[in-house]
Chains A and B, each alone.
Chain A
Amino acid sequence: MLNTSPVLEFKSSTFFAPILILFNNDMAAIEEALQDKISLAPEFFKDSPLIVDLRELNKQNQDLDFTQIVQILRRVGFFPVGIRGGNEQQNKQARTLSIPLDTVREQSSSISIGETQKQETAPQPSPQPEVPVAKQSANPIPAPPASAAATLVTQPIRSGQRIYASGDLIILSQVSAGAEIMAEGNIHVYNTLRGRALAGVHGNTAARIFCFDLQAELISIAGDYKTSEDLNKQTYTSPVQIYLQNHALIIKEIA
């Protein structure tokens, strides 16, 4: 019998993948820096697709074996799906590995790895509305962005739920013990914070956490953290802000 229904169809779409910008060709240092990042938000980065950006490296004439970096990325759990800013040799390696060249600019949010300081400016808000609200395995709350740079959440965040914002994260309800909130920018909780809060997860050391009632299990800014064990030593009677000073978390009541 003749089957007249079509076998396939092409549709246009966008695919969200963070960009990894490399500033240094020291493989050991890169792997270590990657491990550090991943330990901050293991669930978020697990199996994440990734576009490798070599523009900065090539500007500085630092050569890098693309095959080797792909091996490292796969080993730590990423799926490299694109290369941009590569030189001829690197692009050829990519083609051999079936990794496509990506020529679209400034589409995704970036993860910067390297020793440079100039990336410390506030993270660029992703122009895409698809905020990566963690992975399917969690119970992501659909969090409509309040603006391009901030994510506003009005419902309570319960134990087992996780929220990720690529800019600032503003939460009006309570955050339960066993819940986790993460932002590349600042975190504001206008209620009781009992769960885990991680600000500046891509390394923004200027990020801060503001909260009405601090009873958190863990607070972290750009990877420096305190657990409830440290936090319980003191009780706070008014709202607090938390920021980084010389790699130490400072908790101050907002008078």
Chain B
Amino acid sequence: MARIIVVTSGKGGVGKTTTSAAIAMGLAKAGHKTAVIDFDVGLRNLDLILGCERRVVYDFINVINGEASLNQALIRDKNCNLLYILPASQTRDKDALTQEGVGKVLDELSKEFQYIVCDSPAGIEKGANLALYFADDAFVVTNPEISSVRDSDRMLGILSSKSRRAERNEEPIKEYLLLTRYDADRVKLGEMLSLEDVQEILSLHLLGIIPESKSVLSASNAGIPVILDEKSEAGQAYADVVARYLGEERPHRFIDGKQGFFRRLFGGRK
């Protein structure tokens, strides 16, 4: 049985797709057969960031509608043969996604894969709700600014009440915080919220802080997930996130902008 992870936020443009690509690659690199699904019907970003846009033939909606089999639609990543991408449709509209259809695809993927990463669209509408409905774990991507924190809080409310686990009264979705685009200098200047400020409102288990980094843009232009750029801080931060998720203890870094200055203090709650 696969573990289903939703990467979600409420607010748009905070780094969900960047994160989905990075952690899916990280999990695959760690030896786990992983599928990453783009739920952002109509926009299709994930395949660009993973550099497979020219190999897209069939998409998620085709599979839901039975126009293609999963094996036909899944694209194997060029850098890691344990990573597969199920791209979003660029031409259909969001209504093509149905709970039943999504459930069927996830069930089928679950037989073959160890992790399924769902890249959620922004907002709290249908697409986002479907992306989280079947999840076991949620990575709540948040930027250190008040509107993003507010939207994450709202998303957490939906996670705890509108998911399959909530409906079935099962153990709730495990929620993790990913603080991305964190700029320590701007935090010091008071232009951005600090980790403490964010945690005061969200109080979530912190999986990692991803610093604001130019390497993210260059990686996405090159179509290579930033986690493969081992020299970049963002890449290292994502590698830490995956390791922590898989159970390894790693101290948090990039909080003070200076790499290596560890502050375990802010480890968040277990």
Contact = CB atoms under 8 A, between A and B. Distances in A.
Given A156-B203, A174-B203, A141 B154 contact: no
Contacts of B203: 156, 174
Nearest to A179: B157
Interface in B83-106: none
Contacts of B166: 142
A194 B146 CA distance: 14
Given A174-B203, A176-B201, A140 B153 contact: no
B32 interface: no
Interface string A113-141: 00000000000000000000000000111
Contact of B162 (A139, A155, A156): A139
B169 A139 contact: no
Nearest to B150: A159
A161 B161 contact: yes
A161 B172 contact: no
B52 interface: no
Given A156-B203, A174-B203, A142 B157 contact: no
A160 B203 CA distance: 17
B158 A160 contact: yes
Interface string B163-202: 0001001001000000000000000000000000000010
A145 to B, nearest CB: 15
Interface in B108-162: 150, 153-154, 156-158, 160-162
Interface string A140-167: 1110000000000001111111000000
A158 B160 contact: yes
A177 interface: yes
A141 B150 contact: no
A161 B157 CA distance: 6
B42 to A, nearest CB: 25
A162 to B, nearest CB: 10
Contacts of B157: 139, 157-161, 176, 179
B150 to A, nearest CB: 6
Interface residues of A, number: 17
Contacts of B158: 139, 160
B234 to A, nearest CB: 28
A178 B150 contact: yes
A159 B160 contact: no
B160 A177 contact: no
A159 B153 contact: yes
Select the residue from B157, B162, B172, B201 with max chain A CB neighbours within 10 A.
Answer: B157
Contacts of B169: 142
Given A139-B161, A140-B161, A158 B154 contact: yes
A159 B154 CA distance: 5
Nearest to A139: B161
B153 A155 contact: no
A197 B268 CA distance: 27
Contacts of A140: 161
Given A157-B157, A158-B153, 14 more contacts: A139-B161, A142-B166, A142-B169, A155-B160, A156-B156, A159-B157, A160-B154, A160-B157, A160-B158, A161-B157, A174-B203, A178-B150, A178-B154, A194-B201
26 contacts: A139-B158, A139-B161, A139-B162, A141-B160, A141-B161, A142-B166, A142-B169, A155-B160, A155-B172, A156-B156, A157-B157, A158-B154, A159-B150, A159-B153, A159-B157, A160-B154, A160-B157, A160-B158, A161-B161, A174-B203, A176-B201, A177-B150, A177-B153, A177-B201, A179-B157, A194-B201
